[in-house]
Structure 1
Amino acid sequence: MNNTPDEWPSSLTDEELDELDRYLRAHAEEGRLLLDGVHGLLSAIAVGPLEVLPDEWLSEVLHDAFADEGEGNRVLELLAKLNDSIRVELDVDAYEPILGEVDTDTGPVLSAAGWCEGFSRGIDLRAGLWEKRLADDPQLMELLGPIMALAVDEGILSAEAEFEKLTDEEYNECLAQVAPVLNAVDQYWREHPPTEAELAALARPATAEGGTAPSPPRQRSGHWVH
């Protein structure tokens, strides 16, 4: 990134976050991402192995026609600012996940469910690379451990083995690890970028005539699973 500190885009203000949150909630239907989910989606893209262009990820966020051009330009502006801010926050160790809240008998508590849902969808956009590297390199699986634990606990990812629910203390410890995990994963892909063989396999639509195409990554309802 060649920007000087004075040119870095700032994080959204509380008012801008509220504005984007209101738009997403006004168009919320089953399976659609809210603000925490969009933040998780863009976070996965930011630390991922390959660039994901807005034309790809916007379809995960926007599903309805805008009421007018002004509304459309404003929503796109806020999404672009949110996307840019994640990269900057990671670079200066200022990243914090946007989390939802759930009501409990003792009051509202933070929930990573929406953020993890978005993160899993961000991984799905480059699922072939993620899945192969996770299968081939235990280091990456280990780095993602806290986020995967949260995602399994929230039912976003399925676990092959029986999984015991996290205690409140364990859940909060995993939440505290989200930013360090993202920085570690970001560094991992910088040091171990996709190989030519991985990229070639990703670009190959099918095997030679007479063969069978490779099996797609195992997913559940469109979500990356292990």
Structure 2
Amino acid sequence: MNTTSDAWPSSLDDSELDELDRYLRAHAEEGHLLLDGVHGLLSALAVGPVQVLPEEWLPEVLHEPFADEAEGNRVLALLAKLNDSIVAELEVDAYEPILGEVDTEDGPALSAAGWCEGFSRGIDLRAGLWEKRLADDPQLMELLGPVMALAVDEGILSAEAEFEKLSDEEYDECLAQLPAVLGAVSRYWHEHPATAGELDALAQAAAGPRENDGTPPPRQRSGHWVH
């Protein structure tokens, strides 16, 4: 692997992550994504079947006007850099999820709840393509297994069958597999791109608004990002 400074992706440094984290927390209401959720959202879009432009995903992240132009330009620049870094990290197998941290009886622990919520919303932006392919091709379902296990464990997704909570070891194992999972899913869509029929169905779905399915807003999260 070429790890020269020219080839290595330019990710947000700790101070930039802190800055974006503070902005999102300061403007968060119930159901809004925090930094871990935004990273999950952008990760789903990065490995997905078709491009999703910023004007479509930004409303999932930003919910009110900026206080001033300088603040807006800064936040948008940080989000753009975060988005670009995910794509670059995946290309050189250097991807790491940004996870939340929650307090437990045994002390702080990593939580995939926010990341999984964001990843789920990223899939929702192209739900027709994902759902049809997941139904038609068990390979994609199998690749996404660790993500789905975490999402069901955290209550982000509902399981058709009764689901036993992951043990701490199983949870940590699923977390450790996330970089490999995203790399594999990205390769899957490159090798098995969306068909003309799937794209036609997507265009038809985009012509009308999706109805609210009555799903309650996600649980409020607390804690700090961990990269």
TM-score, normalization by structure 2: 0.89
Bigger RCO of structures 1 and 2 (CA < 8 A, at least 6 apart): 2
- Alpha-carbon deviations, 1:165-207, whole Å to 9, x = none? 000000000000000000000000000000011111221259x
- Counterpart residue number, 2:48: 48
RMSD of aligned Cα (Å): 2.2
The aligned amino acid for 1:92 is V
Deviations 1:49-86 (A, max 9, x none): 00000000000000011110000000000000000000
Distance between the aligned counterparts of 1:100 and 1:13, measured in 2? Answer: 17
Aligned residue pairs, count: 213
Say if 2:86 and 2:95, in contact at 8 Å, map to a contact too: yes
Q: 8 Å contact 1:123–1:130 — kept in the other structure?
A: yes
2:173 equivalent in structure 1? 173
Amino acid across the alignment from 2:84: D
In 1, Cα distance between equivalents of 2:80 and 2:192: 28
Q: Is the 8 A contact 2:112 2:150 kept in 1?
A: yes
Instruction: Name the structure 1 match of 2:132.
Output: 132
How many angstroms apart in 2 are the aligned matches of 1:132 and 1:72? 37
1:221 to partner: Cα distance = 4.3
Looking at structure 2, the residues matched to 179 and 197 of structure 1 have their Cα atoms a distance apart, in angstroms, of 30
Q: Report the CA distance shift for 1:168/1:8 in structure 2 as closer, same or farther (over 3 A).
A: closer
Label 1:63 to 1:217 Cα distance change in 2 as closer, same or farther (>3 A): closer
TM-score, normalised to structure 1's length?
Answer: 0.89
Residue number in structure 2 paired with 1:202: 202
SS at match of 2:187: helix
Residue 62 of structure 1: aligned partner: 62
Change (3 A) 1:217 1:31: closer
For 1:216 and 1:8, locate their aligned partners in 2 and report how far apart those are by CA, in whole Å. Answer: 42
Q: How does 1:154-169 map to 2 (within 5 A)?
A: 154-169=154-169
SS at match of 2:171: helix
After superposition, where does 1:18-29 map in structure 2 within 5 Å?
18-29=18-29
Whole-angstrom CA distance in 2 between matches of 1:217 and 1:160: 20
Separation in 2, partners of 1:219, 1:84: 33
Percent sequence identity over matched residues?
78
Confirm or deny: 8 A CA contact 2:36 2:114 kept in the other structure. yes
Contact 1:131 1:217 in 2 (8 A): no
CA contact (8 A) 2:129 2:194 kept: yes
Letter of the 1:81 partner, please give it. Answer: K
1:129-176: CA deviations, max 9, x gaps? 000000000000000000000000000000000000000000000000
Aligned to 1:120: 120
Contact 2:9 2:89 in 1 (8 A): no
